[in-house]
Structure 1
Amino acid sequence: MRLMAPVLTASLLVLGVAACGSGSTGTTAAPKPAEKVTLTIGLFGDFGFKPLYDEYKKTHPNVEIVERVTQFNDHHNNLIKRLATNAGAADIEAVEVGYISTFTAQPQKFHNLKDYGLDKRQGDYLDWKWQQGLGKDGQSVLGLGTDVGGLAMCYRKDIFKKAGLPDDRAAVGALWPTWEQYIETGKKFAAANVAGSKFVDSPGEIFRAMVNQAPTGLYDAQDQIIVGTNPDVKKAWDLSNQITQNGLSAKLAAFSPPWNTGFAKGSFATIICPAWMTGFIQEQAKDATGKWDIATVPGGSGNSGGSHLMLPQQGKHPKEAAELIDFLTSKENQAKVFKEEGTFPSIPALYDDPSIQSFTKPFFGDAPIGKIYSEAAKALKPQHLGPKEADVRVAIGNGLGRVEQGKQTPDEAWTQVLADVAKIK
């Protein structure tokens, strides 16, 4: 059964009441029609919000909601520019965790959601998820979380069979308790020479997953970049490049058009699979029902992705926009979006909810998606994110790409990565 979206207690309707005339028979004028309000919401990809808009408008008929959807990198880079020029931002902007610290370092550019009473939501959230949405002063509330990206590994059962590998999800997970064993499994897959398929899409998201599993990532707690001194980052770099060197990569950059079509074509047999990826796979590979399944990720847990909704100061209707954010991120609606789109809630009270625990999807062979991602979310250990996190990740991703394209050796690319990262201030 679908959960119904809640009705906000704060109404956008403003009733006009006429003053009483002289005498004892005062009259009340008819309510004035509510002002028409159009709210724009900037997103990267489909957040599964459209059915929620329809529900919201039943109680807020004066509100029109317009989505502006662009590609991931374009969305965030455009927002950076729009904040710098003080023009062009949407009323509500979605920000992915890799960029969140870039924007929370600019609290003057956003409305403080405390001013609209949304600090009341703190008790709903995972503590670390709430902290990610705070301004650099640790006090202002700049964003409410939509989801978290607890990790699993999605794989093609039919392609695993062709390669002579087990296809049962428990047996598959047992192949790779560590990343080293994941690569060894990839070598066995490669030896089978399955036509048209490589073991993994590309090493970029593998690198990100490995780093996200470490106690400390690209920054230390004092906001110093530690790429060159953190052994976990170098280990992730070396293992990611082993994927390329052993011919395991399909060389498909994430979110590129060839990567999108690769899901349906079976161009790769495994992919790092945070909860939100399940909805993306189902959208891109509509005719592959039952061919995909979900196993545990090497290392057992981790986080990749997850977003917040924020209010740029440029918005013309911050009160109404804040009320919409409250609605879209409510407990009931996070559960609903998970069941429809796969984005996993950032509200821990849902993790033991029977309707989440028992949730499965026929597309993934009735894999216990709710249980898998609940356990992954419970095991998450948050990592400090620095103010230029996204820029550092881009520099490293570019380095992995140069190795994949044969332009540099891993050592040459690492030297350039360190030089590029040193320029990030």
Structure 2
Amino acid sequence: MTPRFRLLAVPLILALATACGSSTPAETAAKPNEKIKLTVGLFGDFGFKPLYDEYKKTHPNVEIVENVTQFNDHHNNLVKRLATNAGAADIEAVEVGYVSTFTALPGKFHDLKQYGLDKRQGDYLDWKWQQGLSKDGQQVLGLGTDVGGLAMCYRKDLFKKAGLPTDRTEVAALWPTWDAYIDTGKKFAGANLDGTKFVDSPGEIFRAMVNQAPAGLYDDQDKIIVDSNPDVKKAWDLSNQLSQNNLTAKLAAFSPPWNTGFAKGSFATIICPAWMTGFIQEQAAGSSGKWDIAAVPGGSGNSGGSHLMLPKMGKHPKEAAELIDFLTSKDSQAKVFKEEGTFPSIPALYDDPSIQSFTKPFFGDAPIGKIYSDAAKALKPQHLGPKEADVRTAIGNGLGRVEQGKQTPDQAWTQVLQDVAKIK
């Protein structure tokens, strides 16, 4: 699942240079019926627990323990553990913003081809499979769990109070473009609803806009192009319009106030990759029927998605690889989608009747399966660079400074370019 890549205003560890060497596997051959403990390092709830129970029915000798930490802590800790060759879980989840950072270190991870998992290539979206390969394309370092095809979640009750349409088709027609989305926000703001803004914050809006462009923060030669890509600057300018027009609730994604903002109705719209639906349902449990889902401005796009990787320091890589295979299988991805909302990275599921017809009462029986299947089919993936997450953090910090009134957009952009130039 990718519940959890964010443009947070939090400094991230940039130093993986010390972790570029190979590590010696601590592999121990398991004896027949030997009790084996496998640890799985995650950031948030991936919906795996029912799958563990199912897996252990056929693997009674395997104990599975989850280690769950916050998004930034998880990835930063993995950086440190790879650098010291100690402390990583048997299986580590890596979010798409970081995957190219870790696949650039093939000496730190097992090649899943050693365990026959190259057989899975035909299951995946081609670009999703490529994301899990080493930079030279020779090693399979991670298998995908999900993709984050985009939609827009919105509060029907708040739209009604603001005099806006509530039907998802009519809502989508309000914002065919991001300019139209901002205009809709201004109309919403004109209703002066107490305690409610149009959107949570500008960070994920920026990310969605950039993800819809032909190229994002890097070119295909791994050069950062923030300063030269006009689509990045356009997304910056439009996102800051949300702040300048007082349309944001100033709630940083995945902060405690943001979490409670769902239940309090602090914002009426939010960028909504498939995994976000599960998070909304968890945080706004008392708001069933108030939320709905419409198409995102500008068509499609991707926000998030993860891979499961196998650090070399694990003691039982063969058994861990078998668990990765199970957790990312077609059946497992379908089950996790229906329970948690994370959308499969296996395209054979997109036309599966059980996916196409899937709805959720919490979202007014919105056709979630069809919405996200259509979004996934329309995805046009971008090349991701080795410090993707760090670049996005620098930009997110700049958006936050504008939102908080600490800098003008031009001042913040100048600092963003200076900060990005330091990322090597």
For Structure 1 versus Structure 2, the TM-score category normalised by the shorter chain is: over 0.9
Residue identity matched to 1:308: H
CA contact (8 A) 2:30 2:316 kept: no
Cα deviations across residues 240-265 of structure 1 (Å, max 9, x unaligned)? 00000000000100110111111111
**Partner Cα distance (1:314, 1:202) in 2:** 39
By how many angstroms is 1:316 displaced? Answer: 1.1
Find the counterpart in structure 2 of residue 219 from structure 1: 218
Distance across 2 between alignment mates of 1:367 and 1:235: 32
* Matching of residues 252-331 of structure 1 within 5 Å: 252-331=251-330
In 1: Cα distance, 2:344 partner to 2:30 partner: 30
Distance 2:79 2:250 in 1: 29
Bigger Cα Rg: 1
- Structure 2 residue identity aligned to 1:284: Q
Moved over 3 A (4+): 12-15
Contact 2:159 2:165 in 1 (8 A): yes
Tell me, yes or no, if structure 1 residue 152 matches structure 2 residue 162: no
**1:336 aligned residue:** 335
How big is each residue's C-alpha offset from its partner over 1:5-38, in whole Å with a ceiling of 9 and x where there is no partner? xxxxxxx9955xxxxxxxxxxxxxxxxxx11111
Change in Cα spacing, 1:263 to 1:230, as seen in structure 2 (3 Å) is: same
Higher normalized contact order (CA 8 Å, seq sep 6+, divided by chain length): 2
Supply the AA of the counterpart residue of 1:36: K
Alignment-derived partner of residue 185 in structure 1: 184
Alignment check: 8 A CA contact 1:214 1:232 kept: yes
Equivalent residue, structure 1, for 2:105: 106
Contact 1:134 1:142 in 2 (8 A): yes
Q: Tell me the alpha carbon deviations over residues 97-150 of structure 1, each in whole angstroms, 9 at most, x when there is no partner.
A: 011111011111111000000000000000000000001111100000000000
The CA deviation string for residues 26-57 of structure 1, in whole angstroms up to 9 with x for no partner, is xxxxxxxx111111101111000000000000
Contact in 1 for aligned 2:147/2:345 (Cα 8 Å): yes
* Structure 1, gaps ≥5 residues long: 1-11, 16-33
* Kept after mapping to 2: 8 A contact 1:39/1:321: yes
Matched residue, 2:45: 46
Structure 1 position 424 matched with structure 2 position 416: no
Deviation of 1:406 (Å): 1.0
SS in 1 for 2:68: strand
The 5-angstrom pairing of residues 89-238 of structure 1 reads 89-238=88-237
SS of the counterpart of 1:66? strand
| 2:359/2:365 contact within 8 Å kept | yes
> Match for 1:412: what amino acid?
Q
Specify every segment of 5 or more residues in structure 2 that has no aligned partner in the other structure, as ranges: 1-28
* DSSP-derived class of the 1:287 partner: helix
Amino acid across the alignment from 2:286? D
Q: Contact 2:103/2:141 (CA < 8 Å) preserved in 1?
A: yes
Q: Which amino acid aligns with 1:49?
A: F
- Provide the rounded CA distance (Å) in 2 between the counterparts of 1:155 and 1:370: 17
Q: TM-score, normalised by structure 1?
A: 0.92
User: Contact between 1:13 and 1:60, CA under 8 Å: does it hold in 2?
Assistant: no
Q: How big is the shift at 1:77?
A: 1.1
Q: Secondary structure at the match of 2:268?
A: strand
The whole-number CA distance in structure 2 between the counterparts of 1:403 and 1:266 is 23
Q: Among the aligned pairs, what percent are the same residue?
A: 87
**Structure 1 residues 86-105: Cα deviation after superposition (integer angstroms, max 9, x where no partner):** 11111100011011111011
Structure-2 separation of matches of 1:417 and 1:75: 25
Give, in whole Å, the separation in 2 of the partners of 1:35 and 1:299.
54
Q: Distance in 2 between matches of 1:85 and 1:397?
A: 30
8 Å CA contact 2:355–2:370 kept in 1: the answer is yes
CA distance in 1, matches of 2:320, 2:31: 16
Alignment of 1:348-359 (within 5 A): 348-359=347-358
